[in-house]
């Protein structure tokens, strides 16, 4: 197996790290790539006010997740779990023990490659791993890197490879920290990393979470879930806005409920229960045992408490999983948007989409019917609110027919 190791302070991790990692995977044919955030970096001291190690680690996890290569690119705690300065030679010794037969590649930008002889135990590093270097600016010419490669080979027997990135992201974490403190720089970050920074007020960002712009709210919501759910969340937002326009609901409410509807989706049952307790959310027995049923309620609670959303948004999120009898227009819109957003693909979805814009109640009734049929087929108990929603809608449509 070919294993890449990409160390750094990642304070914060930015698109330069992500683009180079993704490209190095391909160029070197790596089977796995470890992002290794340094615990205590030996080359540079962390500037004052830097996030806690745990927060750098969590940001690295979000950046790695955003690459959407699960199992192939992963974050390693090998340095953050270790006491003392994080020397690369020690990290490589540990990895070599763990992977005695595998080919190790140490990835680094030009700045690091050009000074490798000054690191602790360069001869150990070069004997344990091959080196892969990429330019970070237009000034890091291939020629300069080639010369350094030859020098490292002659001096330490290093095997190195220069990787020409097709796209250079001309930014460093230092520059980015400066930009962020002035309210700029988000274009250099994965949206989820940016959202994490806003939520935690890192790097001098002082976002008022209760009055975020739609873009900032979206970044925050994306930072709370795995990247595989991002397309769905953006799809629900888009569909909810379209439905709101069609049926005359408040567009902003639809957008913000769509953005936040799944924000607690990946919390454990225990975490969900804690939130329910904190916000006095009354649960029945079925809900107490199902994180799936709880995420709509906890998502609603955080939308209101942390992001200052209005009651209409609260209830639209609250009912988006089970539905209920006699739903408001916004509740119907979020329920349906979740069902038919552009990434959904199931038998009958096109018909549901058509119906949603032609007769919203008929679409809703169809949605409840399909949910009940699907849950029954899978042997899952139907929540009384879903059955109630279906019964109510049937009676209501009959009455108005
Ligand atoms: P700082 O501004 O603190 O020096 P940095 O942007 O260099 O931060 P690090 O976490 O120190 O970030 O970098 C980790 C690794 O990523 C290093 O090998 C570095 O050379 C490389 N790297 C950093 N920025 C880029 C970039 N824009 N493109 C490619 N590689 C980069």
Write out the DSSP string of 103-165.
Answer: EEEEEEEHHHHTTGGGSSSHHHHHHH-EEEEE-SSTTS-HHHHHHHHHHHHHHH---EEEE--
Contacts of 359 (CB under 8 A, 6+ apart): none
Pocket of ligand 1 (CB under 6 A): 8-10, 16-17, 20, 44, 108-109, 111-112, 134, 136, 169, 171-174
CA 68 to chain centre: 9
> From the CA of 41, how far away is ligand 1's center (Å)?
13
The pLDDT value given to residue 262: 98
Using one digit for the tens of pLDDT, what is the confidence trace for 53-88? 999 999 999 999 999 999 999 999 999 998 888 899
Residue 10, sorted as left (phi over 0), alpha (psi -120 to 50) or beta, turns out to be left
Calculate what percentage of the chain has a pLDDT beyond 70: 98
Cα gap 288→321, rounded to integer Å: 15
Closest CA to 355 of 367, 343, 342: 367
Of 16, 111, 115, the one to substitute when testing ligand 1's pocket (max ligand atoms within 8 A of C-beta) is: 16
> From the CA of 17, how far away is ligand 1's center (Å)?
6
Return the axis-axis angle of helices 230-247 and 349-358, rounded to nearest 10°. 30
Q: Average of pLDDT values for 275-304?
A: 96
The pLDDT value given to residue 43: 67
Structure tokens, 63: 């950046």
> pLDDT band at 40, cuts 50/70/90?
confident
Closest CA to 221 of 234, 204, 206: 234
Nearest ligand 1 atom to alpha carbon 108: 18
> From the CA of 128, how far away is ligand 1's center (Å)?
22
Closest CA to 196 of 70, 14, 17: 14
Nearest ligand 1 atom to alpha carbon 169: 27
Q: Looking at ligand 1, which residue's alpha carbon is closest to its atom 27?
A: 16
Range with the lowest mean pLDDT among 46-55, 151-160, 265-274, 305-314?
A: 46-55
Mean pLDDT for the chain? 95
Of 17, 23, 165, the one to substitute when testing ligand 1's pocket (max ligand atoms within 8 A of C-beta) is: 17
Using one digit for the tens of pLDDT, what is the confidence trace for 187-198? 999 999 999 999
Of 9, 64, 79, 88, the one to substitute when testing ligand 1's pocket (max ligand atoms within 8 A of C-beta) is: 9
Q: Average of pLDDT values for 127-151?
A: 88
Task: Please tell me whether residue 78 adopts helix, strand or coil conformation.
Answer: coil
Q: Looking at ligand 1, which residue's alpha carbon is closest to its atom 19?
A: 109
pTM tops 0.85: yes
Q: Looking at ligand 1, which residue's alpha carbon is closest to its atom 8?
A: 173
Q: Is the pLDDT of residue 268 over 70?
A: yes
> From the CA of 16, how far away is ligand 1's center (Å)?
7
Q: Average of pLDDT values for 83-110?
A: 94
Write out the DSSP string of 179-230.
Answer: HHHTT--GGGS-HHHHHHHHHHTGGG----GGG--HHHHHHHHHTTS-GGGH
The pLDDT value given to residue 401: 56
162 pairs with which residues across the strands? 133
For residue 115, how many other CB atoms are within 10 A of its CB? 13
The β-bridge relationship of strands 73-75 and 32-37 is: parallel
Cα gap 321→337, rounded to integer Å: 12
The pLDDT value given to residue 168: 86
Closest CA to 64 of 234, 268, 228, 264: 228
> From the CA of 44, how far away is ligand 1's center (Å)?
12
Q: Looking at ligand 1, which residue's alpha carbon is closest to its atom 15?
A: 8
Of 5, 8, 164, the one to substitute when testing ligand 1's pocket (max ligand atoms within 8 A of C-beta) is: 8
Closest CA to 271 of 239, 294, 252, 300: 294
């Amino acid at each position: 197996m070919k294993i890449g190791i990409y160390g750094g302070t990642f304070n914060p991790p930015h698109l330069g790290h992500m683009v180079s990692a993704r490209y190095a995977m391909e160029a070197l044919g790596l089977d796995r790539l470890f992002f290794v955030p340094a615990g205590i970096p030996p080359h540079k001291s962390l500037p004052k006010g830097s996030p806690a190690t745990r927060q750098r680690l969590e940001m690295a996890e979000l950046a790695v997740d955003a690459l959407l290569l699960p199992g192939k690119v992963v974050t390693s705690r090998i340095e953050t779990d270790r006491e003392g300065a994080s020397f690369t030679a020690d990290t490589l010794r540990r990895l070599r023990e763990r992977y005695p037969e595998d080919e190790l590649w140490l990835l680094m930008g030009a700045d690091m490659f050009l000074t490798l002889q000054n690191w602790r135990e360069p001869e150990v590093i070069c004997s344990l791993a091959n080196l892969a270097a990429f330019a970070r600016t237009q000034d890091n010419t291939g020629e300069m890197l080639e010369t350094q490669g030859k020098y490292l080979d002659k001096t330490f027997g290093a095997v190195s490879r220069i990787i020409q990135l097709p796209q250079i992201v001309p930014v460093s974490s230092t520059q980015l920290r400066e930009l962020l403190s002035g309210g700029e720089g988000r274009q250099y970050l994965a949206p989820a990393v940016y959202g994490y920074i806003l939520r935690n007020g890192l790097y001098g960002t002082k976002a008022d979470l209760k009055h975020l712009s739609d873009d900032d709210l979206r970044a925050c919501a994306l930072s709370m879930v795995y990247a595989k759910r991002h397309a769905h969340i953006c799809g629900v937002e888009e569909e909810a806005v379209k439905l709101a326009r069609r049926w005359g609901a408040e567009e902003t409410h639809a957008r913000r409920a769509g953005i936040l509807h799944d924000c607690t989706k990946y919390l454990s049952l225990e975490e969900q229960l804690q939130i329910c307790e904190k916000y006095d959310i009354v649960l029945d027995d079925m809900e107490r045992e199902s994180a799936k049923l709880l995420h709509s309620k906890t998502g609603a609670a955080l939308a209101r408490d942390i992001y200052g959303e209005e009651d209409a948004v609260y209830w639209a999120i609250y009912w988006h999983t089970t539905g209920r009898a006699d739903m408001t227009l916004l509740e119907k819109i979020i329920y349906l948007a979740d069902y038919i957003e552009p990434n959904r693909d199931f038998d009958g979805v096109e018909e549901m989409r058509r119906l949603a814009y032609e007769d919203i109640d008929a679409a809703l009734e169809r949605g409840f019917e399909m949910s009940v049929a699907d849950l029954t087929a899978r042997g899952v108990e139907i929540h009384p609110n879903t059955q109630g929603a279906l019964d109510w809608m049937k009676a209501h449509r009959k009455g108005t027919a």
